Every structure is written in structure tokens, then in C-alpha cells.
Chains A and B, each alone.
Chain A
Amino acid sequence: MSGDATPSTWHQRLVRWLKPPRRLKFTREGKFLVGTTLGVGFAAINTGNNLLYLMLGLLLSLIVLSGVLSEQAIRGLVVRRRLPMRAQVGKPHLVEIEIFNTKLRMPSYAIEVEDLRQGQPADKRCFFLKISPRSSQVAAYRRTPARRGRDRHVGFRIATRFPFGLFEKSREVLAEDELVIYPATDPIALPTLSGTHWYSSDAAIRAGFGEDVIGIKPHRIGEDMRDVLWRKSAAAGQLVIRERGVSGRPDVQLVLDVRAPAVASVEWRDAFEARVREVASRAVAHLRRGDRIVLQTTAATRFRAERATGIDPVLRFLALVEPAPDDPTEPRRSE
């Protein structure tokens, strides 16, 4: 994803207009060359030696050429980011960066793309040695998230030190993207279900409108014709349909206390995160065992999940859950 945000107000436009479109930073070699150029320039002016003027011209032309070529290198590049389907705290994931060179003839060399994330230092870079014209290159970087929640990617910094490594020229492009980081989960061993238990699978199924098929029965008026078993109906001489059942097993209630004190301390935040992690671990364990769960927070939010929906919605819910200020005047709902 790439593109530029359109400023909405005049002062934003002014700021953007005043902002230099490129950033330039000296490298160590660049500092050396500029120092040498200044020295040769001073010597030329001081002595009037024509050969030193030639030398000065050569060094200055290198600097000018460096500016022109580096500009050519970072022009016409479109960068896209490919985020993984899921990411979880403490588990590494790969982020793919695809860069496309839209120029017709000129390749771009030595391009570095830095993925910018909101509120976090940019530490992940992808390097592209050569991007041929009208073609793209893909690189990936590995990242291990440390916090759950929304991980906002705001753009890219495209930088190059091409052609001579004297300066690093860079420009930033906006490319907003978001990745929801799931909370970490720990393995929890739940007892296996047994047939004699009150919530065993046999005892838990009863007739209803669920997904499970528990038998066949004659069709009655008003029932869904899509459940008709036509071959059996032909054999029986009357319409026969699937009899559906629903689990009669009670839902597993998982309650997360999100009430935050007026001034939340660091310790409270850590404890809250630990609670989220524990609830997530239990939710995953229950879902893997086949239980239906109901996640409920003390801020009156509730989330149902079952094995068929997978664990992603639960983890997403827990990834985005935030502490709510405790309001003693509000009556608490209870299930």
C-alpha cells in the first residue's frame, strides 16, 4: 500500500509544502569527502594552483552526481506491505515488503525500506540490492511483538546511499496498515470429557436447530425443506428430513475484570495483562476441547465462541479489550 495523504487544512498544506521532500544525512565517507573538498578548495583559492581547481571540480562533481543519482534511485518506487494473517505476542512473524520500480529504464540500486510503526522506533529494515525497471522485489523481516493490541503501520521510509555511499537520502511515504496482535497464550491441560459426566457429549445433545444431525424424522409443515432427504423420502413414501440437534452442554463462562482504578499503576497494568493472558489461555484450551465459551467483561461486553468459529475471534476480542474506568454508580450486569 502506498500513497500520500491529502492534507485537509491550509496549515497542513503549508507545513507539507515547507517540509523538505527529502532528508539528507552524511555518512562517514561523505564527511571525509566533504572535508577533503573543503581542504582542496581552500588550497586552490589560497595558492591559485589551477590543478587544484581541477581537483576541486572533480570532487564537487562527485557530490553533485551523487545527489542526482540518488534522487533517481528513490524516485518511482511503490512499496507495499503484506502483513500476516495473525500475530501473537512473543511469537515471531514475517512481514513482507514488496517494492515495485515504476521507472521504464533505470534500475534502482541499494534501496533500504524502513517500515514505520506508530509510536515505535523504526528498527526493521529491508534491503534491496537491485530493482530492475518495471519489476518488483520482495523481502521480509522478522518481528516478535511485545504488546497485544493494534499495531499500526503508518508508512515507509525509502532510503538509499547510492551511488557512492556519501550521503543517505530518504523520503517517507504514507501507507497505513493495521495488524491486531493477539495476546500470548499458555498451554493449559483441561480434563478430557467423559460420557458419564453431566456435560458429556451424549447427554448434552438435544433436539434443536443446531448444526449437528442427530437422526431423521418425518417432515412436518413449516420445517425447512432444505433438510429433506429425498432418497429416503422416496423409499419411505413420505418426506423425511434430518433431525438437527443442539448441544445441551452449558457454556463455559470466562469473566475478565476490566475495571481500572482512576489512576492505573504500572503494577495494575501488568496484572491486567496477566489476566488477559490467562483468560486467553483458558479460552483457547476450552475451544480446542470443543466447549462453547462465553467471554464476558465487567464492562458489559460479551463474546460467544465455539470450536467451529475457531480461536481467532476470541483472541482478536481479547487483543482489543481495554481497561474501563470503574464507575460505582453504574449497576453491574450479571449473567
Chain B
Amino acid sequence: MRFGLIHRIFTNVLAALGIFALVSTASLPVPTNITMCVAIALAMIAPESWQARPTIRFLSSLAPIVLFAIEVVRLLMGVSPIDVAIEFAGFLQVVRVLTRRGAAHDQQIIVLALLHFIAGTVLGGSLSYGVCFIGFVLITPGALVLSHLRREVEGNYRQGARDRTGLPVDVPRILRSRRVVGSGFLGATVLLALPMLAFTGALFVLFPRVGLSFMLFNANRGSRMIGFSDHVDLGQVGTLRSDPAVALRFHLSRLPSPPPLVFAKRLRGTAFDTYDGKAWSRSTSVRAPLAKNLNCVRTEYVQADADSAIQFDVEPLDPPVLFLPEGHAEICFPAQPSVSRSDWQLTRVELTRGSEDDYRYANSDGHGIQYRVLHAEKPHQIRTTIAGSEIVRHLTLPSNVSPRIRELALSWTQNASTPRSKARLIEERLKRDYTYDTSTPSGAFPDPLAHFLFESRRGHCEYFSTAMAVMLRMLDVPVPSRNVTGFVGGTYNRFGGFYAVREGDAHSWVEGYFEDEQGVGWTTFDPTPVSGAQPLASPTGVQGYMRDLVDAMAMRWNRYVVSYSQETQASVYREILLAFDRRRSNATTSQGWRTFQRGAVVLLVALGLVFLYLRQRRRQTGPDGPLPPVRKAAATAASLYRQLEGALLEHGITRPLSVTPNQLAKALGEESHPLADEVNAVTHTYERARFSVAGVSDDELRDAKRRISLIRKRSANDVRLSESAKKQEAEEQEGNAGK
């Protein structure tokens, strides 16, 4: 492929990944995200020839300034500074991609993409960021290499470089060349991702987690929060049922085989005691911190036979509520590093308990929370009591509640004798006579509950739970009740081995307080028809497969990357050391360990010797390795004669290419040159070394080198004087002879 085209593709992909990292992690408005994505796509497919147009060149200078001015104005208008900065960075990349010319601009694109990626790292950490990370690891080496090569080409060849013929180098021809970058090059650059991933993984696992927390203001901008509501309003809620986003995942310690695809586990979040005729709220906001025992908290439902555990992995949530199964006995947390405290020590999760037995946490750093819950599999074993004052607030009703509701409740329960049986009757009637419908019109009326019970007769779970809670308080023997919200789920993920609970699985039910022979405490009632009290149905086929796959990857990403903590790191070290110790302790007593030790020592020594041998061999033979004997003799002879030529050059004697070494030696001899004898001897040695089968001995070589050294040492003046003296003598002899 063409070098220039490959380079363009790599740079474009990197720019797109940077924009994707921004869009997927930052909380920009959807129109802004769409605009940014469309703009970068258009900029990437713009023809390269446009970039030479004067309009585009003008745009490349003007657009960043205009963009900056717009963002400053938006900042002054009160838009979040982070949003402004992100938008500016994103659209700056669009302008750069559209108007790039040459390698310098391409490098700017890469730098901007890198900065986008860093911004994405800081702003979020969802699975989409993980996808961006993998993409960056795959693409970055190739993009950087190609960009560097192009910059070298432009930098070196445009400064007037010439080829061996002396002609200037044609840069566009190089960029069009298909020989610079081949499939092997592309494969190698992509394969570079493997060592990069290995190095990154090793550093990630081994680098000590410290958490200095200098100058942090705890301004978590974070990630998207799951929309679990802190209040119940009959007129507003009801659209969550269609949201498939995962709110939490849980693992069961005792998973039946085969695992059921749907596991309708009711997970309690929070509860409300006060109803004002339209919405539920809490009459008191007092929360009590819970005593901690290491990382675990005992709830008040302590039972000795709490024999089952559930591991929860909750997405970032607002409000930060723990979701607990019925019969929970103990909650345990992994330690987490702090980002909001000045001390760098690990901070334990701070847990508080509200007046309605709801549990909230702090210090999760916007990354969700993981915890493990021990719970009793038989909830009826749990016993608890509440004080008289608390009973009163769970019986309070608003003054505007319709009396028809009381009449309805009494009519439904006239055949029951005990409060508990009356509650069962109300639950059954609501389940049987009313329809589950998320688009009920009752919310628009002043008394939505009355409209639900007497007019529309259809509603979502909060109507059912509100109706039952209110009706329980209106009985002839009022039953303390409260409205509970949480989730009911979830669906089994075949890849992750967990149950995923989605936002659409949010649910509402009722707790009634009884003191009778069946038990003392709160009892759960769910008056919602079964169709509305079940987890969302899983899609089937390819869609279901892909959703499970993405959910499993997201869970692992959250658990093993985002939530990787110092405690996890310490446990990894501990496991490695323990494994090593175990192996050593098992092996020290055995012959195998001693053999292993000896083998390791021998192997190390052998490797050292091989290294020294290769190093010495390389020094002696050069990087090409040893020469074959014939080539070695020829190389020795050629080197010897080159030294002789160098020495003769110092005396002004050169050998034309048409003259053989032997002819040169003879010519010097005929001229009675003072160096003739030395040259003749060295030439003789050279010819024997070069052409004879026997070659020459080391002594002969040393003698030849000594003669060359002598030639070098004789000064040029000595030789010339000696030469001229001989010539004068010869001329005088000729003259005498003539006379």
C-alpha cells in the first residue's frame, strides 16, 4: 500500500479514537456529541487535494481563533469549564484533520488524540474507555512510526538532499511508494501491541497504589450515574421500565445447575414512611453510622444460620444506596484507596443506616461499589421489633386521602380475622383485579391513588405498593406499613456467570409490621401483578448473545481494572509469595527441589558462558559473523595491501587502477626507488596471501606489517632526497660515460 495513504488512515483512526474517548466518557449534551462525531467523519473523508486550497489554508488559521472565541463566550455564559474545554479540544481536532498539510500537522493530530485520551481517562472509566484503550494500543505504534517516517522524509529530503547521482530526491514519489510500507511492516506494528499490553498490564498490577491526594477537591465529575430515585412520586416515575442499562450485578455463592436464566431476587434499596397523597418521603433524615468490624458490618438481623452469600457489583449510583436481599446478616467491603482525604491510608467504606433500615455508603469515588452480603435463605427466621414512636409514623395518613379507599380496604378484608391475613387479601386483590401498565394516566390527576383504584385500574408498581401501604394503614386495626423501593432481578449472563439487574428492573413493594405468632417484625408484600414484578425479559439470538458478552466484559473491566485496589494488589503479592513458599516448602525436603536448584545454577552458569562466548566472538569477527576461510584470507590480503597503499600515499606514490600491485613494485624497483625493496616484499606477501593455496604464515604477515610500518616512519623528505641523489648520481654516471 502507499505510504502516504497508510499514514493517513492510521492518523485518522487515532483521531477518531480520541474523539470517541471524549464523547463516550464526558457528559456532553447529545447534540454536541453527534455534531462532533459527524464533523470528524466529514473531515476525515475530505479529499486530500482540498488541503492545498487557499480557502482551507485560510480556515486553518482562522477556525481555531473563532472556535476559541465561541468557547470563551460560552464559558462566560455559565457553561461548565470542563465542558467548554472538552468541546474546544474536540472541535480543534476536527479543524486540524480537515486542514492538515504535511507531517507536522499529522503529529499535532496525534498529540491532540493523546490529550483526548488522557481527558477520557480522567473523566470516565466505562467499558467504552476500555475499547478506546485497546484501540490506542493497537493504532498508536503504527501511527507514530509512520508519522515519524514522514517527518524524516520531509525534513531530510526537502533540505536539498540528493541521491547518489546528485539529483534532488523526489518526496511525493516516496509518499506514493508502495515499497516503504508493506504488509510485514503493518503486521509488525500491530503486533507491537502485544508487548505494550504485557508491559502495561505488568505495571498496572505491580505498581504500588499510593494515593497521595495532594490538592484534590473531591470534585468528582464522574461517570454516568444510575438513575435510582430517592423519592417516589406517582405522577413522574414509570418510564424506567424500558431502560436496559445495567444497574448492578450479583453472583450467587450457591448457583443451581443449570443456572436459571431469570432469577427474581428482590433487592431492597430504601423505604419511605410518609405519604402526602401524591408522593412518598421520609419523615426523618437521621442516619446512624454503623460499627465496623474490619471491613464487615453486622446488620441487626443477625442469625446464626445465615448460610448464603451474594457478591454485589453496583454501578455508580445516586443516591449511594446498598441493595440488600431479604434476611441480610452481614455486609463486607473490600478496602478502597482514598481520593478525597488527605491521609493516604486505605479508607474503609463509611456506612450509615437510615430510619427505614436502608443502608448508604460514602467514599466510593464515583466508581460504584462492590460488597458481599451474607443472608438467611429463610427470611421468616428473622425477628425484629420497633419502638412505639416509630409505629406511629408508619400509620400516619394525609388528610386528603379519599375515604373511598378505606371503604375499599375494609370491603376487601371483611372476611379476614388477623392483620396478616387481611394484608394477604389486599395483596391478592390488587394482583388479581388490577393491571400492570407503565403508561397509566392516573399520574395526571390530583389524587392519583384514587384514580388508580377506582378509575383507571391500571398502573405501575408504585401505584400497587402505594395502594397497599395506604390500605394497610386504613384498616380497622391499622397495620404499620412502608413503601420500599429497590430492584427485582436479574437475568443470567452466560459469559460472566452473574445475574445482571437493569434499570428497568426497578421495583416497589410494601413492608408491613406484625406482632403475632408467625413472627415479630416487618413482612414483605408485593401486590404488583407478576408481569410487572419480574426482571426484564432478555433478548434472544445474536442480540442477547452480544448483550451478555458486553455485560460480562464491562463487569470484568469494572472489577479487575477500575476497582483494582491496594488490597487486591496486596492479595496478589500474597498469593504469589504463598504459592512460592508452598512450592519451596514442599520441595525442600524432596530430591526434586535440590535437583531444581542445581539445574538452575548450572543453567545460569551456562547462559553466562554462552553470553561471554558470543560477546567475544562478536568482538573478534564483527557483526557479520565469521568469514569462510577463503574470504577471510582474501580479506586479510586486501587489508594488508590497503595498508601498504595508505603508507605509499604518504610518500606521494599512488597506484592507478590499470597497474597491478606487482607492476607497481617492479616500476619502483626499476626506478631504484628507496622504498622499492619494502614494497616488493609486501607485494610478494600480499600475492601469496591472496592467490596461493598455502597462504601465508602469521610470521610473514607480521613481517609485512612491520615493513609497512617502516614505510610510514620514513619521512617523505628523506625518500625524496634519497631519490634525487640517486638520480643525480645516475645522470652523472651517464654524463661521464658520454664523455
Is B161 on the interface with A (CB-CB < 8 A)? Answer: yes
Are A139 and B149 also in contact (CB < 8 A) when A47-B213, A49-B122, A302-B720 are?
A: no
Task: Using CB atoms, name the residue of chain A closest to B337.
Answer: A48
Given A46-B212, A52-B122, A142-B162: A57 and B201 within 8 A (CB)? yes
B245 within 8 A of A: no
Q: 1/0 per residue B162-193: CB within 8 Å of A? A: 11101000000010000110000000000010
Considering residues A51, A65, A300, A312, which has the most beta carbons from chain B within 10 angstroms of its beta carbon?
A: A51
Render A291-305 as a binary contact track against B, CB cut-off 8 A, 1 for contact. Answer: 000000001111100
Min CB distance, B82 to chain A, in Å?
15
Report if B200 contacts A (CB, 8 A). Answer: yes
Please encode chain A, from 129 to 148, with 1 for each CB lying within 8 Å of some chain B CB and 0 for all others: 11000000011111000000
Which of B195, B216, B720 contacts A65, CB < 8 Å?
Answer: B195
The distance in angstroms between the C-alpha atoms of A4 and B618, with both chains bound, is 12
Closest to B196 in A: A61
From known contacts A47-B339, A58-B196, A302-B720, infer whether A140 and B162 are also in contact, taking CB-CB under 8 Å. yes
| In the complex, A202 has a CB within 8 A of chain B | no
Q: Judging by beta carbons under 8 Å apart, are A46 and B214 in contact?
A: yes
Q: Which of A156-164, A211-219, A260-268 contacts B (4 or more CB under 8 A)?
A: A156-164
Q: Is there an interface contact between B157 and A164, defined as CB atoms closer than 8 Å? A: no
Q: Which of B312-320, B561-569, B571-579, B669-677 contacts A (4 or more CB under 8 A)?
A: B561-569
How distant is B102 from chain A, measured CB to nearest CB, in Å?
A: 14
* CB-defined contacts of A164 to chain B, threshold 8 Å: 141, 144-145, 148
**Structural contact, B151 and A301, CB atoms closer than 8 A:** no
Instruction: Pull 11 A–B residue pairs with CB atoms less than 8 Å apart, ordered by A.
Output: A36-B114, A51-B562, A64-B199, A65-B199, A78-B623, A127-B157, A139-B161, A161-B152, A162-B148, A163-B144, A299-B717
Inside 8 A of B107's CB, which chain A residues have their CB? 29
- With A45-B212, A47-B339, A54-B133: A94-B166 Cβ-Cβ less than 8 Å: yes
Q: C-beta contact mask, A45-87 vs B, less than 8 Å → 1, else 0?
A: 1111111111111101110110000000001101000000000
Known contacts A46-B214, A49-B122, A51-B121; A142/B203 CB under 8 A: no
| Residues of chain B from 102 to 158 with CB closer than 8 A to chain A in the complex | 107, 111, 114, 117-118, 121-122, 125, 129, 133, 136-137, 140-141, 144-145, 147-149, 151-153, 156-157
Chain B contacts of A180 at CB under 8 A? 649
B210 within 8 A of A: yes
Total number of A residues with any Cβ neighbor in B under 8 Å: 63
For B566, give the chain A residue with the smallest CB separation: A48
Does B195 contact A45, Cβ atoms closer than 8 Å? Answer: no
Please tell me if B435 contacts chain A, counting CB pairs below 8 Å: no
Assess whether A317 is interfacial by the CB under 8 Å rule: yes
Complex alpha-carbon distance, A163 and B121, angstroms: 25
Contacting pair A129 B153 (CB below 8 A): yes
Q: Which residue of A lies closest to B198 (CB)?
A: A61
Chain A interface SS verdict (over half): mixed
Knowing A138-B164, A162-B148 are in contact, say whether A48-B156 is a contact too (CB < 8 A): no
Give 1 or 0 for each of A18-54: 1 = CB within 8 Å of chain B CB.
Answer: 0000000000010010001000100111111111111
Shortest CB-to-CB span from A212 to chain B, Å, is 18
Extra pairs beyond A109-B149, A126-B161 (19, CB < 8 Å): A3-B622, A36-B118, A40-B121, A46-B212, A47-B213, A49-B339, A54-B200, A55-B118, A60-B200, A78-B623, A78-B624, A125-B156, A141-B162, A161-B148, A165-B148, A165-B152, A302-B720, A302-B724, A312-B654
Confirm or deny: B338 has a beta carbon within 8 angstroms of a beta carbon on chain A: yes
- The 10 A-B pairs at the shortest CB distance, nearest first, are namely A57-B200, A48-B211, A165-B148, A127-B156, A48-B337, A57-B203, A61-B199, A164-B144, A61-B196, A138-B164
Contact flags B38-79 to A (C-beta < 8 A → 1, else 0): 000000000000000000000000000000000000000000
CA distance A302 to B144 in the complex (A): 63
A contact residues around B212 at 8 Å (CB)? 45-46
Q: Identify the closest chain B residue to A45 (Cβ).
A: B210
Q: Are B164 and A96 within 8 A (Cβ)?
A: yes
Contact (Cβ within 8 A) B152 A129: yes
**Contact of A317 with B652 at beta-carbon distance under 8 Å, contacts A50-B204, A51-B121, A55-B118 already known:** yes
Interface of chain A residues 88 through 102 with chain B (CB within 8 A): 94, 96, 102
Within 8 A of B (CB), among A278-333: 299-303, 312-313, 316-317, 320
Judged by a CB distance under 8 angstroms, whether B721 is at the interface is yes
B379 at the interface (CB under 8 A from A): no
- Give which listed residue, A36, A53, A94, A300, contacts B721 with CB less than 8 A: A300
Are A54 and B166 closer than 8 Å at their CB atoms? Answer: no
The residues of B that contact A51 with a CB separation of less than 8 Å are 121-122, 125, 129, 561-562
The yes or no answer to A110 lying at the interface (CB within 8 A) is: yes
CB-based contact A65/B192 at 8 Å: yes
Q: Mark out the residues of chain B between 188 and 231 whose CB falls within 8 Å of any chain A CB in the assembled complex.
A: 192, 195-196, 199-204, 207, 209-216
For the complex, is A186 an interface residue (Cβ under 8 Å from B)? no
A285 to chain B, nearest CB (A): 21
User: What is the CB-to-nearest-CB distance from B557 to chain A, in angstroms, rounded to a whole number?
Assistant: 10
Which residues in A have their C-beta under 8 angstroms from that of B163? 139-140
Contact residues in B for A55 (Cβ distance below 8 Å): 117-118, 121
- Name the residue among B114, B192, B200, B646 with the largest chain A CB count within 10 angstroms: B200
Q: Are B149 and A320 in contact (CB under 8 A)?
A: no
- How far, in angstroms, from A44 to B213 measured CA to CA in the complex? 10
Which residues of B, 86-102, contact A by the 8 Å Cβ criterion? none
Candidate in A55, A161, A317 with the most chain B CB atoms within 10 angstroms: A55
- B contact residues around A56 at 8 Å (CB): 203, 207
Which residues of chain B are near A227, meaning CB under 8 Å? none
**Which residues of the other chain, A, contact B199 by a CB distance below 8 angstroms?**
57, 60-61, 64-65
A interface residue numbers (CB < 8 A to B): 3-4, 29, 32, 36, 40, 43-58, 60-62, 64-65, 75-76, 78, 94, 96, 102, 109-110, 112, 125-127, 129-130, 138-142, 161-165, 178, 180, 299-303, 312-313, 316-317, 320
Q: Are the C-beta atoms of A110 and B180 separated by less than 8 Å?
A: no
Expressed in whole angstroms, the Cα–Cα distance for A109 and B189 within the complex equals: 13
Question: Contact between B164 and A142 (Cβ–Cβ < 8 Å)?
Answer: no
Instruction: For the complex, give the distance between the alpha carbons of A287 and B516 in Å.
Output: 135
Q: Which of B166, B199, B622 has the most CB of A within 10 A?
A: B199
User: Smallest CB–CB gap between B167 and chain A, Å?
Assistant: 10
Q: Chain A residues with Cβ under 8 A from B156's Cβ? A: 112, 125, 127
Q: Roughly how many angstroms separate A303 CA and B721 CA in the complex, as a whole number?
A: 10
B170 to chain A, nearest CB (A): 12
What's the least CB distance linking A224 to chain B, in Å? 13
Closest CB-CB distance, B721 to chain A, in whole Å? 7
Query: Which residues in B have their C-beta under 8 angstroms from that of A96?
Result: 164
**Nearest-CB distance from B621 to chain A (Å)?**
11
Residues of B within 8 A of A125 (CB): 156
Alpha-carbon distance between A29 and B104 when the two chains are bound, in angstroms: 11
Q: Which of A32, A112, A140, A301 contacts B164 (CB 8 A)?
A: A140
Which residues of chain A are near B211, meaning CB under 8 Å? 45-48
| Contacts A47-B213, A54-B204, A316-B652; A140 near B166 (Cβ below 8 A) | yes
B136 closest partner in A (C-beta): A58
Contact A48 to B562, CB < 8 A, known contacts A65-B192, A102-B624, A129-B174: no
- Chain B residues, Cβ within 8 Å of A112: 156
Determine whether the beta carbon of A50 is less than 8 Å from that of B562: yes
Cα of A96 to Cα of B166 in the assembled complex, Å: 10
A75–B623 CB distance below 8 A = yes
Residues of A within 8 A of B129 (CB): 51
Contact between B210 and A301, CB atoms less than 8 A apart: no
Contacts of B147 in A (CB 8 A): 165
